[in-house]
Amino acid sequence: MRRLATIILMIAALGWSTAVTTEASSAEESFTSSSSVVDGKSDVDGVSYHYLLARGGPQTVVLLHGWGTTSYMWRYVMPELTGRGYTVLAPDIRGLGDTAKPAAGYEKAAVAQDIWKLVNNLDLGPTVNLVGHDMGGMVAYAYAAQHPANVRTLAILDVPLPGIEPWDEWVQGPRTWHFRFHAVRDVPEMLISGREFEYLKWFHNAEGVNSRAFDNQADEIYGRSYSQPGALRAGFEYYRAFPQDVVANRVFAQSKLEMPVLAMSGIGGLGTVYGEHIRHIAKNVRALVVEGAGHWIPEEQPAAVTAALIDFLPPAK
């Protein structure tokens, strides 16, 4: 409680700058301006989903980001996979980035259904390779559990799965203080609103190892995204849905996944215990711990993530 109180006081003391530099805007545009990348929108049951899509070979890779980031987090990994002939889809998940921000529907099983429908809307099936980080990893597991015949491989990056051992132990520890803080109704919105840039900048550094991973451009892009109306509440609803996710995952885990699963963690993130965690939900698990990375592996060590995925994924063609 003392640590949480200190953090809350720190947040309240921070200022907010609304200026987004031209340099940061240009960086975001350069990620999406490739002639091979479609920057699009698709309606999924009344929710407008923003996505980035580069069509290549018959193997589709779906990249799902988590809280504190957007599809921009894949700016280093997506071009490398595309360049090797994969079709790559990187959506902004429900409520975040430039996707619409409905009041409800943040249970991971529900968001997984969104992504499954988006894949079908864009005619990217029948099978895909899923890669999910943070909340995107929770969504990726729920997708694979609900549509196992439509998932060829699954990679989950540095996130505990609700309800899967040792979830109860992890969520009571100091490392996951933000799980409890973000889940409180209304309070985090009240304290962080208007200070999104500062909070995210601090949060990224606190959860990372490579301090150079988040430059001012990235911080400003994420700060702008999470300062959009409804974005903070939508993001925190992912945490408030954990009780429902626990129930769903315990049912899903009764049948272990059959497809190959890559469990990737940062040495400063969940570390060496992560593979055993994922083996509770899958039979064929390859565990990898990335040196020089904390939680934000695709941004802290993108070359290592890209190499691991290329080694793990089926051939592009």
Phi, psi for 3 (deg, rounded to 5): -65, -40
Environment class of residue 185 by beta-carbon count within 10 Å: exposed (0-12), middle (13-18) or buried (19+)? exposed
Q: Cβ contacts of residue 106 below 8 Å, gap of 6+?
A: 94, 95, 234, 237, 238, 240, 241
Domain ranges of the chain: 39-187+230-312
Higher pLDDT, 5 or 109: 109
Q: What is the mean pLDDT of residues 38-62?
A: 97
The answer to whether 286 and 201 have CB atoms below 8 angstroms apart is no
Q: Cβ contacts of residue 108 below 8 Å, gap of 6+?
A: 135, 138, 139, 141, 142, 162, 238, 241, 245, 248, 249
Is 60 exceeded by the pLDDT of residue 17? no
Arithmetic mean of pLDDT over the chain: 92
Is 50 exceeded by the pLDDT of residue 15? no
* Gap between the Cα atoms of 291 and 289, Å rounded: 6
- Residue 317 is predicted with a pLDDT of 85
Is 70 exceeded by the pLDDT of residue 91? yes
Q: What are 76-89's pLDDT values in tens digits?
A: 999 999 999 999 99
Provide the angle, in degrees to the nearest 10, between the axes of the packed helices 108-121 and 242-252. Answer: 70
50 Rama class: left (phi>0) / alpha (psi -120 to 50) / beta:
beta
Beta bridge partners of 53: 38, 89
- Residue 280 is predicted with a pLDDT of 98
- Residue 2 is predicted with a pLDDT of 40
Task: Determine the residue type at 103.
Answer: A
- Residue 31 is predicted with a pLDDT of 64
Environment class of residue 153 by beta-carbon count within 10 Å: exposed (0-12), middle (13-18) or buried (19+)? buried
* Gap between the Cα atoms of 263 and 277, Å rounded: 9
Task: Determine the residue type at 77.
Answer: V
Task: Determine the residue type at 196.
Answer: E
Q: What is the mean pLDDT of residues 39-64?
A: 97
Q: Residue 57: helix, strand or coil by DSSP?
A: coil
Stated as kind and residue range, the H or E segment containing 177 is helix 177-183
Which superfamily does CATH assign the domain made up of 39-187+230-312 to?
Answer: Alpha/Beta hydrolase fold, catalytic domain (3.40.50.1820)
> Which parts of 59-166 fold into alpha helices (H)?
77-83, 108-121, 135-146
